[in-house]
A = this chain, B = another copy of it.
Amino acid sequence: MSTRARVRASAVAVFGRDGLGASLRAIAAEAGLTAGRIVQLFGSKEELRRECDEHVFGVIREAKRDAMVRAHGSATTLEHLAMIDEYVPYVAYVARSVQAGGEQARAFIDHMVEDALDYVGDAVAAGTLLPSRDERARVRYLTESSLGHLALRLSFDAPQSAEELRSSMRAHIDAIMLPALELYTQGFLVDRRMLDAYLLYVGDPPESEQAASA
C-alpha cells in the first residue's frame, strides 16, 4: 500500500469521524507521518479532499452496484450501506463532505440523484413505487433529506473513535427505520387537501387521478 493510499485512507477515516474541519496534523498522526509530508504528497489540503471525495464516491457507487446485484435489482440507499460496518467510514465521509459543500460534493449529489432517477423510474414502471409529479424533485428531496439528517446526527454525536462512529451510525439507522418506513408506505396525512391546495396554488391542475374536487 503506497504512502499516498495510506494517507488517503487515514484522511477519509478522520474526515468522516471529525468532519472536514479536521486538521492535517490529526490526519498525519493517524497515518503515521507529518502534516508537511501530506502537503508534499497532495499539494494542499483541498486537493487531498478532492482525492478523498473521488475515491469515496467511487467506492460508494461500486458498493451500491454490488448490493443491487446481490439484492437482484432492488436499489440501495446510503442507509443500507450504513448498516454494513465496512462501509460506515465511507458513508460518514459522504455526509460530512456534502455538508461542507464544494464543487465535488455538489457533483456527488447530482450523480446520486441521476442514479436514483433510473432506479426509481424502473420501480415506478414495475409498479413497486408510486409515480411523482416531479420525479427529479422527489429523488433530490429524499437524497438531500437523508444526507442532511445523517450529517446532523454526526454533528451531534461527535464520535471520537471509529467505534463510536459505528455505534452512532447504528443508532441513527435504528431511530429512523420505523418512522421512515411508515412514512414511505402511507405518509401521515389522512387526505389530499393540503396537496391539492398546493397544486392549485402553483397553478397545476389538482389531477383527475382519483378524487378530483377543487
Contact = CB atoms under 8 A, between A and B. Distances in A.
A213 interface: no
Nearest to A150: B148
* Max count, chain B CB within 10 A of own CB: residue among A144, A150, A191, A194: A144
A41 interface: no
Q: How large is the interface on A (under 10, 10 to 19, 20 to 34, 35 or more residues)?
A: 35 or more
Contacts of A184: 183, 187-189, 194-195
B156 A149 contact: no
Contacts of A99: 99, 151-152, 155
Given A138-B182, A180-B141, A189 B129 contact: yes
Interface of A: 98-101, 105-106, 127-130, 132-134, 137-138, 140-142, 144-153, 155-156, 158, 175-192, 194-195, 198, 202
5 contacts: A137-B175, A138-B178, A138-B183, A148-B149, A186-B187
